[in-house]
Structure 1
Amino acid sequence: MNQKTFRRSLVCIVAVGLFSCCGKHSRSRDNRTPDGSGVAAGDSATAAGKVGEVSFSAWKKGGIYFVDATVTNPLQHKAFGVKLGTWVKKVFPEYEALLDGYVSLVTGSKRTYEAFLGRARGMSSRLPRHHLQEIRGFASVFGTGENKPGDGKLSLDEILFLNLLGDVARGTACSVLAATAAGARDRSPIAGRNLDWPNPLGILSKLHAVMTIRTRGSLVTLVGFLGHFGAITGMNAKGVFGAILDSGTGAPLVVKDRRSYFFDLRLALEQSKTARALASSMAAGTRRYTYNHLIFTMDKSDIMVLENVVSGSGHRAVRMPDSLLNRGVAWGVPNFLAVVNSFVLKGNPDNHSDSSHNTARWTKLLSFAKAHPAISAQDMRDAMAQKQGTRPGTGDVLNDQSLQTIIASPGKGTMELRVDPAHGEGGFMTVTVNPVP
């Protein structure tokens, strides 16, 4: 894959109810140790301790980095970032050079490198303050303040770019399938998500991470990559789940005076008690974003997707299982919701019909939902593992860029996570999102 193709094809797939695997790979493992500490004997790397008002522990298990932090003092978010950076540098000494190489690969040329870093630097002033402080603390542990591609070091601007990559260098795709309580076998809403992203040299496969951050009155667990502080996929202690999917319409990416929807999603998870509240927050007209996208969200009662048309024609509106769709888009399955990388709500721009990758995945999800009117967790795993032939490819729910499969069960407060599902290795690990004490 050349660098130009790579930049165009940055892809993430969200499938509500699609986090799945098949057969021998469907065993479930819990991320907690018997004593509940999360730090187990025999793990390849563990750490625990306090920095000021920060309680911090981290470990690696099953190819996934786990981070658990409690920040009771709002002024100590930078200390959390420092603690995490120090731990990463100790247990993953090649991290800095690896990510510096990733930055060079994504940007390609010095001119593009400088442009993307400038975009990220400009957007950083509109990040929630405590999120920015975490990034600054993390960056302070590494390298140098100099922006120099390919030097094996990470500057603050490069780390900002890595955290805002989804906002400033777009070109991604996503998909979702979800069931309401009436459509689920155990009468509790369930959702699956496949996260698809180009993975040159297998770099991202080395960075799978689950990060839990407790503050006064809130707890959020984020599933993403080590050193990324925004929300790609996450759930809070109230059982509110959120996940990002892109939906390009050809409208240009605009960065000036824009906010990050990855970090606003984390903020919404920190503040929202319901899926409706989260969607309302992300749809606010005062929140201007760089790129058209979708926010799938659910809680113990509802499933929905926010079609966030932020540029070009259309509107920012929530789609429910029974919403009216654009002409030519068929669904009609009660109690189920599907999302691919397109707007389908009546009145929104049609970026669906001409995309074979979108229509093929939509059709697979539609057929699966029709065949499983009372869907189980195992059914969801199977839905997310759908592919044709022996190798995942374009148009498959599980495709060659699938990096994470997740099954979200808000009623249970769990997310089941399987990493690198396209390679057929490893089973699911259960991540329990505990309520706030």
Structure 2
Amino acid sequence: MKIALAFLIMVSAWHPAWSVAAQNEIRVFQVDAEGKTGREIGAELGRAIKSAFPDIERIYDSYLAGFIRQDQFNQWVRSGMDIIRVNIDPAYQEELSAMASTWQISGKDRLGDGFLSLNELWFFQLMPDVGRRTNCSGFGVLGNVSATHAPLVGRNVDWDTTEDLRSLQAITVYDYGKDVLVNIGFAGYIGVISGFNNHGLYLAHLDSPLGIRYSQPAAGAHSIVFDLRKTLENEATVGAAAEFLMAQQFPFSHNVLMADRDEIRVLEQPDGKASHLRTPSTPTRPEMPWGKKDQIAVVNCFVSEESPSNCIESKDIYRWQRFGELAVFEPGGRTAQIDDLTRIMFDTANRHQAIFNAKTFQSMVFSPKDGRLFLYAAPISNNKHEKPVMTDVSHLLPKADMENDPYRSEILLLWSVVSVMAGVVLWVVLKGRKSMADYLK
């Protein structure tokens, strides 16, 4: 198995929302995973990452030291990590262990010592399951309010990051042959925060805390980021993805922004309570009104009237209201294009509670119909004074096979027409030959 390391260069584009003169780059790891075990994938991926980021162990260790106290880390390792880890697909566990075996891994769990232990690497993978406080958001359109008459979805990832951690931004493409997974995050992060597959299914994780103290995970609790990966590797539609995720138990409340070639939904999953799959027309809580046809938004709280009320922070209330102000698209009127979603995800109307804010390190717009991805990755300096840029990285997916090609029906129709015409021509030729033979008798 070979892993190709590529660079995505941010280049000037015709569309004003993402045109730029300056250049930036993000690493892409192309993984030939067809027929390979998790151990084989992890070993090759680990070597490629170590070659690209020789200091990756120190960077992860330094980030964790600023994220959690040593005593909190020790407590979570003792009481929570193994409960979740035992329910992670063994292939993913093997992949992480094999990847770590190619790095310089310490046997001591000591945050900030410049070394990375296996427990520290696992903690980084499972941070969304611990309930890190972030203010991510998303917005989507579909149907007749979309210029493509198909779903378009935007998503911002807002974390407390450091220059070192931003330097590790990467995209990992797992090519299993028939199925392809594009994982947008960090080098060495094998769970999924944001990702999509070659069937057009897109999934993104967003926190939605209930305001209660984090407790030890219940037995049987799954990791949301590893289950998102499993879903993308096995499902093609929002319905199937939601059915799988709703059957699982997770240690922390969250939203999942979901899109495929036909629909966009938000899966609201409060810890210990029933999940709800929200559509653009789902009734929302009185304090979080919506009423936007074929348009949907998500922030870090639950808005469905059937979900628990946790929209108490001003940042969530403001961003929800701002999405409502920007959701101006109508059937038969102004329809939304990729450029419109880009502008919405880059909105800074209120710089203290903006959709695009100081913590935004990734912003993206995805078109499930044709697999087009437009991505902004924050520069290492995190300098947002310059105009932000989204780069078209649609070439990430290998050419879709006929079964998964969104234009399959058109191609089959054309092939049928050509076949019929060829048959008619052949029939005419053969009939002509027969007539000539009869004439010569």
Is this a same-fold pair by TM over 0.5? yes
The letter of the residue matching 2:243 is: S
Partner residue in 1 for 2:125: 163
TM-aligned CA deviation for residue 150 of structure 1: 2.5
Q: Conserved in 2, the CA contact under 8 Å of 1:121 and 1:157? A: no
What is the alpha-carbon distance in structure 2 between the residues aligned to residue 170 and residue 193 of structure 1? 18
Q: How big is the shift at 1:149?
A: 2.4
> How much has 1:160 moved relative to structure 2?
0.8
Q: Find the partner of 1:337 among 276, 287, 296.
A: 296
Cross-structure match for 1:348: 307
**Match for 1:142: what amino acid?**
W
Deviation at 1:96, TM superposition (A): 1.4
The answer to whether the Cα contact below 8 Å between 1:218 and 1:436 also exists between their aligned partners in 2 is no
One-letter identity of the residue aligned with 1:434 = P
Give 1:278's aligned residue. Answer: 241
Aligned pairs for 1:44-83 within 5 A: 54-61=1-8, 62-74=24-36, 76-83=37-44
Residue in 1 that maps onto 2:155: 193
What's the secondary structure of 1:65's corresponding residue?
A: strand
What residue in structure 2 maps to residue 138 of structure 1? Answer: 99
CA distance in 2, matches of 1:384, 1:179: 13
The corresponding residue for 2:418 is: none
CA-CA distance at 1:140 after TM superposition: 0.9
CA distance in structure 1 between the partners assigned to 2:161 and 2:46 by the alignment: 23
Q: Which residue of 1 aligns with 2:355?
A: 397
Report how far residue 235 of structure 1 moved: 0.6
SS in 1 for 2:393: strand
Deviation at 1:146, TM superposition (A): 2.8
TM-score, normalised by the number of residues in structure 2: 0.80
Gaps of 5+ in 1: 1-53
The one of 280, 283, 288 aligned to 1:321: 280
**What is the DSSP-based 3-state SS (H/G/I as helix, E as strand, rest coil) of the residue aligned with 1:307?**
strand
Distance of 1:142 and 1:188 partners within structure 2? 43
Q: Say which one has the larger Rg.
A: 2
1:86-134 Cα shifts (integer Å, max 9, x gaps) = 22222322221111111211122x3122123333344222111111111
* Amino acid corresponding to residue 322 of structure 1 in structure 2: S
Which residue does the alignment assign to 1:411?
Answer: 369
Please say if 1:96 is aligned against 2:57.
yes
- Is 2:176 the counterpart of 1:215? yes
Q: Secondary structure at the match of 2:373?
A: strand
Residue by residue over 1:307-327, the C-alpha shift from the partner in whole angstroms, topping out at 9 and shown as x without a partner, is 11222xx52010101111122
1:268 corresponding residue in structure 2: 231
Offset, 1:386: 0.9
**Contact 2:208/2:300 (CA < 8 Å) preserved in 1?**
yes
CA-CA distance at 1:218 after TM superposition: 1.8
Equivalent in 357, 362, 366 of residue 320 of structure 2: 362
Instruction: Find the aligned partners of 1:344 and 1:91 in 2 and give their Cα distance.
Output: 42
Name the CA distance, whole Å, in 2 between partners of 1:117 and 1:429.
39
Contact 1:406 1:415 in 2 (8 A): yes
Q: Identify which of 106, 109, 113 aligns with 2:67.
A: 106
Kindly indicate whether the alpha-carbon contact (under 8 Å) linking 1:142 and 1:154 is maintained by their aligned counterparts in 2.
Answer: no
Identify the range of structure 1 (401-410 vs 205-214) with the bigger mean alpha-carbon deviation.
205-214
Aligned residues: 373
Q: Any stretches of 5+ residues in structure 2 without a counterpart?
A: 9-23, 402-441
Tell me the CA shift for residue 166 of structure 1. 1.2
- Tell me by how many angstroms 1:380 deviates: 0.8
Cα distance in 2 for partners of 1:107, 1:89 equals 25
Q: CA–CA distance in 2 between the matches of 1:344 and 1:351?
A: 8
Residue among 168, 172, 181 paired with 2:143: 181
Q: Is the 8 A contact 2:142 2:294 kept in 1?
A: yes
Report the counterpart of residue 383 of structure 1 in structure 2. Answer: 344
2:269–2:276: 8 Å Cα contact kept in structure 1? yes
Contact map agreement 1:63 1:208 (CA 8 A) in 2: no
Q: Corresponding residue for 2:193?
A: 232
Q: Which residue among 90, 99, 110 is the counterpart of 1:148?
A: 110
Residues 116 and 59 (structure 1), Cα distance of their counterparts in 2 relative to 1, 3 Å cut: farther
The residue number in structure 2 matching 1:434 is: 398
- How far did 1:169 drift? 4.7
Higher relative contact order (CA 8 A, sep 6+): 1
* Structure 1 residue aligned with 2:75: 115
Structure 2 contact 256–267 (Cα < 8 Å) conserved: yes
Distance 2:359 2:113 in 1: 28
Q: d(CA) in 1 for partners of 2:336 and 2:98?
A: 44
Q: Could you tell which deviates more after superposition, 118-127 or 294-303?
A: 118-127
Structure 1 stretch 255-264 or stretch 230-239: which is displaced more? 255-264
Q: Does the residue aligned with 1:203 lie in a helix, a strand or coil?
A: helix
Task: Output the CA distance in 2 between the equivalents of 1:375 and 1:162.
Answer: 37
- Asked if structure 2 preserves the Cα contact closer than 8 Å seen for 1:413 and 1:434, the reply is no
| RMSD after superposition | 1.9
1:216 Cα deviation after fit: 5.1
CA distance in 2, matches of 1:111, 1:88: 30
**8 Å CA contact retained: 2:147, 2:337:** yes
Mapped contact 1:120–1:168 kept (Cα < 8 A): no
Inter-partner Cα distance in structure 2 for 1:426 and 1:357: 21
| Shift in alpha-carbon separation, 1:371–1:73, aligned structure 2, 3 A | closer
Deviations, residues 41-68 of structure 1 (Å, cap 9, x unaligned) = xxxxxxxxxxxxx332123344312011
CA distance, structure 2, for counterparts of residue 65 and residue 255 of structure 1: 34
Distance 1:169 1:240 in 2: 25
